[in-house]
Amino acid sequence: MTVDVVPDGKINIVELEHFLRNPPSDFVVETHTGCSYVHSNDNCLVLIDDFQCCRGKVVFNNSLGRTIKMHHLWDYTRVRKSLLSKRIYMLVSACEQTTSLTNKRAHKAPKVLSVLKQFVLSMDGSDPFIKWELERGLNWTISSVAGESYRVKIDFGEALQTWAGSLHVLTDRGIVKPVWRDTSFTLKYYSDALFDFSHWFGFSKRQFKMRLT
């Protein structure tokens, strides 16, 4: 199974297996007894949780994970600075949309997404347009980081679908135009405010979608 990839300076996507076999210059991969340890330098902001693949468990040692927890204004300032200055790495899934066979009436059968392959997506947070989009979204969704708790979902799905719209995955059944999933990460800020009513009543959940057009 392969994918056509046209990398550019601000956005790139590479098959997970290729990434682990031939990591970029900012990464080093070590393998020990069925576990791959991926080390990255300070140029990268890695947002990938530990996971299992065909080669065993994969651990990104310097990763903040897909959910970034912050407890102080300093935490938020540090994360925001990294988002706007470093290359961001995420693990995304190329999926095929199929029709469930459990429903006899095909036209009403629900759509099911099956994962074809996983890819490492990277975006340059310091690129002027991407930086502007991130700043705009953060400023819009986070009005106060000191006095309230919040949860912000940042989704790159629309940007990836726009940029990778011409990419296709070659499977043993033919060529498939993938649907991209697992394209977001979340910022969670925990305030020590005594009366954080918006958080108590579920009003502090926000999200924004990155766009390239």
Ranges of each domain in the chain: 2-11+68-99+113-209
Q: What is the mean pLDDT of the chain?
A: 82
Q: Would you say 60 and 80 are in contact if contact means Cβ atoms under 8 Å apart?
A: no
Please report where in the chains the tokens 């299992």 appear, as a residue.
52
110 vs 123, higher pLDDT? 123
The answer, yes or no, to whether residue 166 has pLDDT greater than 80, is no
What are 63-106's pLDDT values in tens digits? 999 999 988 888 989 999 999 999 999 999 998 887 655 555 55
Of 42-51, 118-127, 142-151, 177-186, the least confident: 142-151
Confidence of residue 184 (pLDDT cuts 50, 70, 90): very high
Q: Which pLDDT does position 2 carry in this prediction?
A: 43
Q: Would you say 183 and 121 are in contact if contact means Cβ atoms under 8 Å apart?
A: yes
Residue 101, φ and ψ in degrees, nearest 5: -95, 5
**At how many degrees (to 10) do helices 73-83 and 128-141 cross?**
150
Burial annotation 13-36 (CB, 10 A radius, 16+ → b, else e): bbbbeebbeebeebbeeeeeeeeb
Q: Which pLDDT does position 109 carry in this prediction?
A: 54
Handedness of CA 74, 76, 79, 82 (dihedral sign): negative
